[in-house]
Amino acid sequence: MAKMCEICGKRPMVGNYVSHAHNVNKRRFNPNLQRVRAVNNGRVKRIEVCTNCIKSGFVVKAP
């Protein structure tokens, strides 16, 4: 499964590790994904969503 939020579509971004001597290496910034039991189209489903969507209230958690 891709590291992608199923609500907003947030995906990994690329950047650089930069040392004090300014040596540069590639790195990935992964989204903070959590597996949540949520109500989706009237059904309870386990989905992977980012914490930003959970905090913003875009996800209705299942009881």
Beta bridge partners of 40: 43
Task: State pTM to two decimals.
Answer: 0.80
pLDDT at 2: 84
Query: b/e string for 31-42 if b means 16 or more Cβ within 10 A?
Result: bebeebebeeee
Range of the domain at 16: 1-63
Would the pLDDT of 10 be above 80? yes
What's the total number of domains in the chain? 1
pLDDT at 1: 65
Q: Which CATH number characterizes residue 34's domain?
A: 2.30.170.40
Would the pLDDT of 13 be above 70? yes
Centre a 10 Å sphere on the Cβ of residue 49 and count the other Cβ atoms it contains: 22
20-58, pLDDT tens digit by residue? 999 999 999 999 999 999 998 889 999 999 999 999 999
pLDDT at 45: 94
